[in-house]
Amino acid sequence: MSVPVPNAAPARAADASQAKPSILTVDDDPSVSRAVARDLRRRYGERYRIIRAESPESALEALREMTLRGEAVALILADYRMPMMSGIEFLEQAMDLFPMARRVLLTAYADTGAAIDAINLVDLDHYLLKPWDPPEEKLYPVVDALLEAWSTTENRPATDTRVIGHRWDPRSSEVREFLARNQLSYRWFMADEPEGARLLSAAGLDDTALPTVICADGTALVTPTDSELAAHLGLQTAPSGEFYDLVVVGGGPAGLGAALYGASEGLRTVLVERTATGGQAGQSSRIENYLGFPDGVSGAQLADRARRQATRFGAELITTRDVVALETNGSARTVRFDDGTSVDAHTVILATGVSYRQHDADGLEALTGRGVYYGSAVTEAARCADQDVYIVGGANSAGQGALFLARSARSVTIVVRAPSLAASMSHYLVAQIEKTPNVHVRTCTEVVGVDGTDHLESIRLRDNTTGDVESVDAGFLFLFIGAAPRTDWLGGLLARDQHGFILSGPDLLDSGAGQWPLDRMPHHLETSVPGVYAAGDVRSQSAKRVASAVGEGAMAVMLVHRYIANP
């Protein structure tokens, strides 16, 4: 439901400077700091707020305040040599606050080696040698290009979207996660705090109409669906055509890889995603074993780069469309949506990935979204500061979440049924966990219940070696358990294994689960329906790694070309 907000305009116009995105520069040398701020203000001061800091600590404090206020930061320039904290270390922390801001390192000629290393360490966009005189030749062209890239990033959000809700309301949590995963900035207000109450009053609403999202145009969306959010905040929700060469279902690493390579090789390509691109990998706080990023990259950054690459080559990316059926209509493959509409194509790549399995412990369902979360570690991290946090799961996603939350939480406890993490978690993560003092591991243990009134207050843990049950106080529980394929919507059209993963290529023939209809052998990733391919985690016997998913997406496109040329 949406309602007009007649009194919202004065609030937005109260301080025009606050609506400007910011450029922040930090250098401990006052003369250099003033010089770079002067040059930036001269060219960009009308469109951007120029913020100058003379220490990394004050710069980080300014960034934290802007994060809390929901402001946008377009560009951060940091000197390499600063006392107490180098420019690289500063930018690494700044990434967590504003991952979409472009990053520039200011360095002397002697430090260019460190600047080059920082390209991977902090996903550096550029480094500038000091001095940069004249700025018209050495500074402005670089900054112009970076600001253009930032401003034209797909789904660039309005900076004044505001969300009003309750702290422990499940739908409020889901709305915040949807906005964050789609790179849509927002300001969060508690309904029982003065500013939240003022906004609700301006919209003619009370605290029973929650969550409420106030958009840039003054429209208030009351308990909006994901589709309503997407439509009002500028995401593309419908394909522009009726027939394509390739429809990719699912926007995780495999789907993004397929869309990128499909579009770059001249195929009319559309990717359909039900929530947000990136999949489970997109929710990861840090992926450290992906080729080309020796010091890691966040899942959100990786997904954003892939999304921008795919759209630059001409792929359409459709969000908040739930695919409910796949049909064969002669030589066409039809993908049907939950609203009754459909799109046809020569070929389809299924890259729907997996979802976290639901835990059946007592009380969990009632407290989901009220302190109990499946995944979501990045979205909820700010609320976990100085809290005791528990994580269930022994795979990489659990380890990455634990290390990320450990930065601010008082303690993080990983609960795993196995006798150790070694069997299911990568060695590098196990080693990091062992070196992190506030991360603890409870092996041979499982959650058997949770308790709380309106939110999580305690967790019941059972020691499977002794059978003893212990109740521990906790405000947050994150579950990263198992992998359930999203394939129920396929019905009996495609052959699947006993766990629901899609059979393809040699596995399809070896299983005897499906009848292959053609004289030729199925392609390696081809399913039991010719012209339909499976890639990534949804495919039976896949490696369940980001790199392999991207590779399978690219490989599937090669096989699509082969199918189109010779069905």
- For residue 318, give the amino acid letter: I
Handedness of CA 270, 271, 275, 278 (dihedral sign): negative
**Residue 492 sits in the same domain as residue 524:** yes
Output the domain CATH number for residue 403.
3.50.50.60
Q: What is residue 4's predicted lDDT score, i.e. its pLDDT?
A: 42
455 and 383 fall within a common domain: yes
pLDDT at 197: 87
pLDDT tens sequence across 174-193:
999 899 888 888 888 999 99
DSSP 157-218: PPTT-EEEE-TT-HHHHHHHHHHHHTT---EEEETTSHHHHHHHHHTT--TTS-SEEE-TTS
Quick one: what percent of the chain has pLDDT higher than 70? 91
Least reliable range by pLDDT among 121-135, 385-399, 435-449, 484-498:
121-135
Our count of domains for the chain comes to 4
| 386, 452: one domain | yes
In a domain, 504, yes or no: yes
Whether pLDDT at 456 is above 70: yes
- Per-position b or e across 325-361, b if 16+ CB within 10 A of its CB: ebeeeeeebbbbbeeeebbbbbbbbbbbbbbbeebeb
| pLDDT at residue 504 greater than cutoff 60 | yes
Residue 345, classed as helix, strand or coil, is strand
- pLDDT digits 0-9 by tens, 326-359: 999 999 999 999 999 999 999 999 999 988 888 9
Angle made by CA atoms 77, 78, 83, in degrees to the nearest 5: 165
Alpha-carbon span 160 to 384, nearest angstrom: 25
| Cβ neighbourhood burial of 556 (10 Å; 0-12, 13-18, 19+) | buried
Task: Tell whether the model's pLDDT for residue 487 goes beyond 60.
Answer: yes
Per-residue pLDDT for 15 more than 50? Answer: no
Show the domain range for 31: 20-151
The string over 137-167, giving b where at least 16 C-beta atoms fall within 10 Å of a residue's C-beta and e elsewhere, is eebbebbeebbeebeebbbbbbbbbbbbbbe
Residues 25-41: b if buried by 16+ CB within 10 A, e if exposed: bbbbeeebbebbbebbe
Give the predicted TM-score (pTM) of the model.
0.74
Mean pLDDT for 229-241 is 93
- Is 544 inside any structural domain? yes
Mean pLDDT of 125-150: 87
Do 414 and 560 lie in one domain? The reply is no
Q: At what angle do helices 112-121 and 87-97 cross, to 10 degrees?
A: 20
Residue 157, pLDDT above cutoff 90: no
Q: Residue 488: phi, psi to the nearest 5?
A: -60, -30
Note whether residue 4 is domain-resident. no
83-110 per-position pLDDT tens digit: 888 888 898 888 877 888 999 888 876 5
For 7-11, 224-228, 497-501, which range has the lowest pLDDT when averaged over its residues? 7-11
**In the prediction, which pLDDT does 558 show?**
97
**CA-wise closest residue to 174 among 50, 244, 296, 275:** 275
The pLDDT-based confidence of 471 (bands split at 50, 70, 90) is very high
Q: Give me the pLDDT at residue 11, please.
A: 32
pLDDT in tens, 520-537: 999 999 999 999 999 999
In a domain, 440, yes or no: yes
**10 lies in some domain:** no
Same domain, residue pair 370 and 472: yes
Last residue of a domain, one of 151, 166, 196: 151
The verdict on residue 237 lying in a domain is no
Domain membership of residue 15 (yes or no) is no
Long-range CB pairs of 88-91 (<8 Å, 24+ gap) are 88/114, 88/117, 88/118, 88/121, 88/122, 89/56, 90/26, 90/56, 90/59, 90/60, 91/118, 91/122, 91/124
Residue keyed to tokens 């199925």: 522
| Mean pLDDT taken over the chain | 88
The CA angle 326-331-336, to the nearest 5 degrees, is 20
- What would the pLDDT profile of 46-70 be if each residue is shown by its tens digit? 999 999 999 999 999 898 777 656 5
Same domain flag for 37 and 114: yes
Please say which residue of 232, 267, 293 terminates a domain: 232
Neighbouring residues of 99: CB distance < 8 A, sequence distance ≥ 6? 298, 300, 301
Query: Where residue 180 sits, what CATH number does that domain have?
Result: 3.40.30.10
DSSP H or E segment with residue 283: none
The reply to whether 253 and 300 lie within a common domain is: yes
Q: Does 13 fall in a domain?
A: no
At residue 5 the predicted structure's pLDDT band, cuts being 50, 70 and 90, is: very low
Coil, helix or strand at residue 447: strand
The answer to whether the beta carbons of residues 358 and 392 sit under 8 Å apart is no
Same domain, 350 and 495: yes
pLDDT of 158 higher than 80: no
Same domain, 141 and 34: yes
Cβ atoms 271, 316 nearer than 8 A: yes
Which of these three, 439, 464, 479, is where a domain ends?
Answer: 479
Shared domain for 282 and 348, answered yes or no, is: yes
Residue 25, domain CATH = 3.40.50.2300
Q: Kindly report the CA angle at 209 between 205 and 213, in degrees rounded to 5? A: 85
CB hemisphere CA count around 208 (13 angstroms): 1
Q: Over the stretch 238-269, which tens digit does the pLDDT of each residue have?
A: 999 999 999 999 999 999 999 999 999 999 99
Q: Which of 1-5, 102-106, 510-514, 524-528 has the highest mean pLDDT?
A: 524-528
The single-letter code of the amino acid at 119 is I
Residues 6+ apart with CB under 8 A from 156: 150, 234
For residues 331 and 381, state if they share a domain: no
Question: Do 31 and 144 sit in the same domain of this protein?
Answer: yes
Determine contact, residues 250/535, Cβ cutoff 8 Å: no
The residue-averaged pLDDT of 306-331 equals: 95
pLDDT the model gives residue 67: 65
